[in-house]
Structure 1
Amino acid sequence: MDKMYSYKDFEVTVKIESVRALSSEFTYGPPVGYIAVVSICTPDPRRPIGVPIRLVNEGNRLFDTENDAITAGSNAAQRVIDDRLSP
């Protein structure tokens, strides 16, 4: 699941990476959690602001659901943009 949107004239992309456990047979099991990868760009011309941010939950834990990761990534992007725009 990915989410793209505009916030205060910046383009925000939040991509979700699933983390899977390895079984003893070296096959991938179901996702055990998710990581949010946040990218922020200027809209025109499209230029990245810094490098993508990889987010996990408090205590260095994976997010339990894709929606939790999307929400956290969106909130983090908004805080970065607000901090960048503050005098």
Structure 2
Amino acid sequence: MEKMYSYKGFEVTVKLESVRAVSSEFTYGPPVGYVAVVSICTVDPRRPVGAPIGLVAEGNQVFGTEDDALTAGFNAAKRVIDERGAP
């Protein structure tokens, strides 16, 4: 899943990577959580702001739901943008 947001003249993309459990038979089970990969770009001209950031929840755990991962990714991007200032 991937979701795009606009924030203060920047484009934020949060892409979710599912983490799956592996059984003893080496088959993949259902997703046990998600890692958020956050990319930030300026809008005009479109340029990346740093490298994509991979995020996990507190305690180095995966996010339990897609919504938790998307929200955390967007909130992290907002902090980075606020610290950087306007384009």
Same fold (TM over 0.5): yes
Match of 1:9 in 2: 9
Displacement of 1:24 in angstroms is: 1.1
CA distance in 2, matches of 1:67, 1:35: 11
Code of the residue aligned with 2:16 in structure 1: it is I
RMSD: 1.1
Give unpaired runs (5+ residues) of structure 1: none
Identity %: 77
Structure 1 segments, 4+ long, off by >3 Å, are: none
Match of 2:53 in 1: 53
Displacement of 1:2 in angstroms is: 1.5
Match of 1:76 in 2: 76
Displacement of 1:23 in angstroms is: 1.0
Give unpaired runs (5+ residues) of structure 2: none
Equivalences, count: 86
TM-score by length of 1: 0.94
Match of 1:65 in 2: 65
